[in-house]
């Protein structure tokens, strides 16, 4: 299948990003270029949107809670971790995505503004996201949610963090997580896969050069081989993890590592719904307002969350 035609003007708009020499890219310049959110025509109305500060051990980080219309008095909770290579992104860049997912799932969505690299390197983001789930469980009454019905979700680096938190929760004795939604997740630091060769030139938005840049800033002096919460594909034991939805994109450098992680989850006995979105690129999940065919994947993810959190 060829690339979805609705993506063509978007790729043209991001041509500067695609052609960037990432080896010379300052962090602040990348943030200035990419941290301006794509504003939907009309933001999805929520019953409640609340900016929060989560007081975690030794630090405080921002968050935003989205409660959709019709969610009931004690909705289930989805902790959402944004993409951006652990370096870019935040509450504003993923505001529309969180609204869409809240509406599709019927659950409250807690968007976690974890610390970014290189200011806070591995494993700071993973620890922030894990502690955010602990905090949400402890503050469920104040939030008005049912944290016994908790899922984790994220896109790209956020998908990596959702997978890492699922592993951390298993190994650290909680909190209980009912589902993990992994949207084109980062799972490995191997840039020699076929999907990198086919899709990593920048013509489909995300490039191999950008991914190398992201990994360098997140790892710092740490060898990725010594970073199991980043290279989740290589975690030896993937048993006893939450059921998973894994969505990858046909024209994405990360496609193969996401596919391989889904296969490893299934082989470990984890109920896994894994699908590759045809004609789509990295980042498509947040483009449903401008790419009509992307909306079905948001609905698919929301339906899986709704079922898991019932």
282 noted as active-site residue: yes
For this structure, is 55 an active site residue? no
What is each CA distance from 218 to 116, 123, 224, in whole angstroms?
8, 8, 10
Q: Which helix (H) or strand (E) holds 80?
A: strand 76-81
Q: What is the DSSP letter of 293?
A: G
| DSSP H stretches of helix in the chain | 8-13, 15-18, 27-34, 95-105, 124-138, 140-143, 157-172, 194-199, 208-219, 255-267, 295-308
Give the span between the Cα atoms of 296 and 220, in whole angstroms: 38
With CA atoms as reference, report the closest residue to 101 among 146, 153, 53: 153
Catalytic residue among 82, 179, 217, 282: 282
**Summary count for the chain: helices (H), strands (E):** 11, 8
How many angstroms separate the Cα of 307 from the Cα of each of 104, 178, 301, 303, 310? 11, 10, 10, 6, 5
Q: Check 156, 166, 195, 288 and give the catalytic one.
A: 156
Catalytic: 300? no
**Which among 113, 128, 188, 252 is annotated as catalytic?**
252
Alpha helices in 19-123 (DSSP H): 27-34, 95-105
List, by residue number, the catalytic residues.
Answer: 156, 252, 282
């Amino acid at each position: 299948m060829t690339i979805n035609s609705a993506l063509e003007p978007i790729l043209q708009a991001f041509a500067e990003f695609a052609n960037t020499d990432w080896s010379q890219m300052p962090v602040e310049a990348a943030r200035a270029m990419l941290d301006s959110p794509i504003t939907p025509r009309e933001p999805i109305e929520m019953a409640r949107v609340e900016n929060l500060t989560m007081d975690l051990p030794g630090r405080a980080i921002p968050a935003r809670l989205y409660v959709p219309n019709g969610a009931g008095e004690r909705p289930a909770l989805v902790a959402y971790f944004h993409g951006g290579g652990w370096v870019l992104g935040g509450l504003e860049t993923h505001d529309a995505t969180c609204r869409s997912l809240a509406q599709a799932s019927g659950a409250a969505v807690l968007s976690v503004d974890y610390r970014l690299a290189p200011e806070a390197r591995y494993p700071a983001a993973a620890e922030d996201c894990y502690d955010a789930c602990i905090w949400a469980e402890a503050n469920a009454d104040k939030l008005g949610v049912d944290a016994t019905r908790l899922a984790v979700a994220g896109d790209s680096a956020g998908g990596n963090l959702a997978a890492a938190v699922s592993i951390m929760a298993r190994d650290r004795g909680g909190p209980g997580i009912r589902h993990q939604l992994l949207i084109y997740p980062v799972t490995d630091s191997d840039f020699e896969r076929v999907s990198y060769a086919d899709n990593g030139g920048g013509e489909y938005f995300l490039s191999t050069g950008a991914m190398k840049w992201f990994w360098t800033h997140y790892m710092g002096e740490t060898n990725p081989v010594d970073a199991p919460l980043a290279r989740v594909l290589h975690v030896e034991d993937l048993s006893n993890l939450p059921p998973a939805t894994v969505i990858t994109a046909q024209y994405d450098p990360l496609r193969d590592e996401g596919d391989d992680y889904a296969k490893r989850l299934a082989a470990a006995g984890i109920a896994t719904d894994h699908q590759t979105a045809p004609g789509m690129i990295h980042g498509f999940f947040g483009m449903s307002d401008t790419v009509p065919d992307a909306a079905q994947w948001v609905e698919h993810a929301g339906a899986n969350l709704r079922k898991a959190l019932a």
